[in-house]
Structure 1
């Protein structure tokens, strides 16, 4: 059963968009800032302007965002945008400090690894409902707003950034394929073929290019690849919880995982990884791939817009993750719409913030241009059908249709499970860090390391469940068990109802 466009829009969420380096931009008309500085105060403080502070990590659309801000301030000259863009890791640390010191931006996303329900209880965000109307709410595709993800107790607290696809498909360089004697129309299908292709590309490169490049210093990228690729082999791992949907335990040492480790260990032993891999971020790897320095890169759909704009000479294709020799036994996990941007509980400008969101999602510029650029699909009705033109983005979507399936979301089944995540303390090194160490040659016995990690993770997870229960949360380990889940089918609203 393939995912239709409607099913995808109901199911899939924001992916982790990651920027190259921290940068801060104040996207206001120069004259406004000059007036404010001349008055001896902060920009906009004495001239009747409202300073709207926004922070996120959306580097792939930085230029579009800046243009949107210019247009916004031209339309609403009483509002000055103070926009800060960070890497995804920097954002989490920065916003934690900002919230604790009562200096949070007016609008900012839910940090990765944190749950909206928990943050609402901790008074990070306020509901958007008083500032948005039904016309605005009805712009979005069905399934955008639901309790446990973007809503809490029936109120909207957050909106997804974009209709994101799973972030671990493979881009491949057709030019380097040809130079290595490989057919660009026949990308590798299995682990063995993938390793063989990478080896041949590396040999053909003679030090000028290599088989594969990754943003190796970002452990989250290794972890995403581990979960999604091993899920195709039947691991049942995903990003919704540390519990495998197959074993109902935090099992990171199953055979599908070990098979994946064997592939990456082999790639490293062959010398197929670009020598800069372990010292660079994902955006840096993306830039080197665009310079024809590697045959493969594992990345998300957002790269399409960046490459098509900045590297029009790049001749590349998109392929599904390779499969283990044992064959296809699962699907790429596709999750429900996740929370992204929300309104700070401390914001003094909620009406202006809501106006920003209305223009960001419902205006005549940003959503259309973003989809047209090939960056991503929109969560706004009709935009994708009208503006999606990049062939690589369409190919990415088609592959997810073929291999992706909607998985059950414990937060939808029981929103109180957020209390478990609030108590959960992750174990390190985690599975992504272990994979990173294996590729770097710093770890030899991955099987023992994964077994120990799985054991420690299980202890930490059970402790979090008990701690949440001790604080009154109505939760249990069974909230993460879905006996009617089929790894080859979409998990639907009817499946949730069948559990009751």
Structure 2
């Protein structure tokens, strides 16, 4: 798509660096989740629920989130629950973020929210807790202590899952996965006269040139949507040496750095792709689910998205051939992407649900070793658990070679960065005081691409300033309430971005 909006003001900076890998296509596989004859309260291929239909008031189990890859697991669990307990009406709604953003707040106001839901994108966890939308799991799950002990010590984090000593959510899967990789359609590449499989797109210029060639041949070169443009820019910035994590904070300095030179370089690069006419027309209004479905049919030549797309393509378009490559860097140099191992795809229990027993039973199973193993197998290995026993005990014969590739890429390029929430057990008290900054990074990036924001550097600097100010206020408020926290604890001077930050590093810092 070419845009007539005025170009944001950007400063050119020196460029830094990636290498590339390729994989061929293999078919997906799945596991059985039980049959209609499963005994009430029993186990269907490992799906066991601590639920007694004779002693409960639960009449339904409604679970709502954004869908995508996790739906193959959550949907199967909810369906199996309904089979085992036919007196409980079950429904899994994974129809996308737009629905979550609209339906959940409306349901809260009307007292009819789903029993379990993902938080709307503009509602921080602390807001949902302070407003009474959600309730902790401690006194709800049938055997909470055993369930919690099954997670690694660092999996349930203060200020992320745990607030004021209560556990409100849990990590459905690990966050050590690349949010953005290159998926290059062989059909589009061949139509442009490019040999397949595509094995090397290791610099930004390589990607720009490839996108131009594919576009010239009649297929838009690049597919990305407004839903994750900020993630594309952020990950590309990491390839240029940016130390910002998924929240935009540099954990060496404890400051937000969206206006850094590397981030501005990455933003300028993506804007250049748009100005080339290489982006899919209408990309700013295109939804992820539609983009995913249309990519195998020729919507674009290169998709910039995550591994959750692969399972859907293999189910709906098993003959679709494509290469999988990591993101390129400015000059082809190697790089690392810092990430927060907070877990992904968190779900929250509605505070006023009348179906507490059913919801608790489903949650307890999903967070168990058996449930996590089923998640890995149902997702063909594309979802990885924070519970290592689940990863190692999963049936390897049921996993997909593409899953192994993207897992290897994640291991190669991603490094766990320091987390204040692990450093200080009272971090949750800061998070509860934190106010959301508006506009957010997602809204700011979208505004830059639509032309509503014409000075990108100024807008990003303003965002950094607002985020830093809100963080400082949250620390001050938490300390005033008696929390033993200090703003300096956001700084980790011993962090080496090329390696995982470990328990030994935390200990050395405090020593």
TM-score (normalizing by structure 2): 0.76
Which moved further from structure 2: 317-326 or 119-128?
119-128
Task: Return the match for 1:78 from 87, 106, 109.
Answer: 87
The residue aligned with 2:19 is: none
Q: Distance in 2 between matches of 1:79 and 1:120?
A: 28
Q: Distance in 2 between matches of 1:260 and 1:391?
A: 31
The residue aligned with 1:256 is: 262
Q: Distance in 2 between matches of 1:452 and 1:140?
A: 39
Displacement of 1:392 in angstroms is 2.2
The residue aligned with 2:322 is: 316
Judge conservation of contact 1:229–1:332 (CA < 8 Å) in 2: no
Displacement of 1:127 in angstroms is 2.3
- Choose between structure 1 and 2: higher helix proportion: 1
> Cα–Cα, structure 1 residues 316 and 139, in superposed 2: closer, same or farther, change >3 Å?
farther
Give unpaired runs (5+ residues) of structure 1: 1-27, 30-43
Q: Secondary structure at the match of 1:454?
A: helix
Q: Distance in 2 between matches of 1:146 and 1:458?
A: 22
Task: Return the match for 1:396 from 406, 417, 442.
Answer: 406
> Cα–Cα, structure 1 residues 182 and 339, in superposed 2: closer, same or farther, change >3 Å?
closer
Alignment of 1:230 with 2:237, yes or no, is yes
Displacement of 1:268 in angstroms is 1.2
Q: Distance in 2 between matches of 1:65 and 1:119?
A: 22
Judge conservation of contact 2:244–2:338 (CA < 8 Å) in 1: no
1:187-206 correspondence runs (5 A): 187-205=200-218
Q: Secondary structure at the match of 1:277?
A: coil
Give unpaired runs (5+ residues) of structure 2: 1-35, 38-52
Judge conservation of contact 2:154–2:422 (CA < 8 Å) in 1: no
Task: Return the match for 1:271 from 267, 273, 277.
Answer: 277
Q: Secondary structure at the match of 1:54?
A: strand
Q: Secondary structure at the match of 1:81?
A: strand
Offset from partner CA, 1:383-442 (integer Å, 9 cap, x none): 564245222222111111111001112222224434444444444444444433444455
The residue aligned with 1:304 is: 310
Alignment of 1:344 with 2:350, yes or no, is yes
Displacement of 1:263 in angstroms is 0.8
> Cα–Cα, structure 1 residues 330 and 97, in superposed 2: closer, same or farther, change >3 Å?
same
Judge conservation of contact 1:128–1:158 (CA < 8 Å) in 2: no
Q: Distance in 2 between matches of 1:110 and 1:436?
A: 21
Q: Secondary structure at the match of 1:172?
A: strand
> Cα–Cα, structure 1 residues 418 and 231, in superposed 2: closer, same or farther, change >3 Å?
farther
1:210-229 correspondence runs (5 A): 210-216=220-226, 218=227, 221-229=228-236
Judge conservation of contact 2:253–2:493 (CA < 8 Å) in 1: no
Judge conservation of contact 1:417–1:479 (CA < 8 Å) in 2: no
Alignment of 1:167 with 2:175, yes or no, is no
Alignment of 1:283 with 2:289, yes or no, is yes
Judge conservation of contact 2:184–2:198 (CA < 8 Å) in 1: no
Q: Distance in 2 between matches of 1:335 and 1:69?
A: 27
> Cα–Cα, structure 1 residues 77 and 395, in superposed 2: closer, same or farther, change >3 Å?
same
Offset from partner CA, 1:163-196 (integer Å, 9 cap, x none): 3423122222122223323343423111111111
Displacement of 1:317 in angstroms is 2.1
1:340-419 correspondence runs (5 A): 340-360=346-366, 362=370, 366-367=374-375, 369-372=377-380, 375-379=382-386, 381-382=389-390, 385-387=394-396, 389-419=399-429
Which moved further from structure 2: 273-282 or 457-466?
457-466
> Cα–Cα, structure 1 residues 136 and 462, in superposed 2: closer, same or farther, change >3 Å?
closer
The residue aligned with 2:497 is: 487
Q: Secondary structure at the match of 2:61?
A: strand
1:78-97 correspondence runs (5 A): 78-97=87-106
Alignment of 1:452 with 2:462, yes or no, is yes
Offset from partner CA, 1:347-400 (integer Å, 9 cap, x none): 44433323223444536995255223x652345534564245222222111111
Displacement of 1:225 in angstroms is 2.1
Q: Secondary structure at the match of 1:278?
A: coil
Q: Distance in 1 between matches of 2:377 and 2:154?
A: 23
Displacement of 1:256 in angstroms is 0.6
